[in-house]
Amino acid sequence: MADLTPEQLTELKQRLLDRYNHLRRDIYDELKKIGREEDFKDLAGEVHDPGDASVADEIFEANIETINTLALELRRVEEALTRLAQGTYGECIACGEDIGYPRLSVEPDALRCITCQERFEKRQPVRPTTL
């Protein structure tokens, strides 16, 4: 376990749990949106020509993108909670060094120290699609 006080751990865990519940609710709401056909038809309107249909597709895809982004964050928060339970929370998954409280307090679900995170993001210039 990284060098965190019990108070810091409790605080970070609480924030992770709050975020976890919040994300689950958001994802559920988004799924409900696309699960209801009437809402989808309202957004798209009556489809008169292929142009209208593609507007509908865009709305649908934007929603999927939102869900993907939320699901990705949920996975990261889940991973952090698992690591808390395992006692490896706060250690960088890439180099094993302590991530440190200053960084964790900004980003409780951080999995890498700042050095490794920058290296990781450079490898994925568009946006991260994995943990």
Point out which span in 1-9, 50-58, 79-87, 107-115 binds Zn ion (CB under 5 A).
107-115
Rounded Cα distance, 20 and 36, in Å: 25
Q: Report, in Å, the least distance between residue 12 CB and Zn ion.
A: 18
Query: How many residues touch Zn ion (CB under 5 A)?
Result: 5
Q: Within 75-104, which residues bind Zn ion (CB under 5 A)?
A: 92, 94-95
Rounded Cα distance, 100 and 75, in Å: 21
Residue 59 engages Zn ion in binding (rule: CB under 5 A): no
Closest CA relative to residue 23, chosen from 64, 75, 63, 60 = 75
Helix (H) and strand (E) counts in the chain: 5, 0
Q: Of 23 and 117, which has the nearer Cβ to Zn ion?
A: 117
Rounded Cα distance, 103 and 10, in Å: 16
Task: Residue 102: count other Cβ atoms within 10 Å of its Cβ.
Answer: 8
Q: Report, in Å, the least distance between residue 72 CB and Zn ion.
A: 20
Q: Which residues of the shown chain bind Zn ion in the complex (CB under 5 A)? A: 92, 94-95, 113, 116
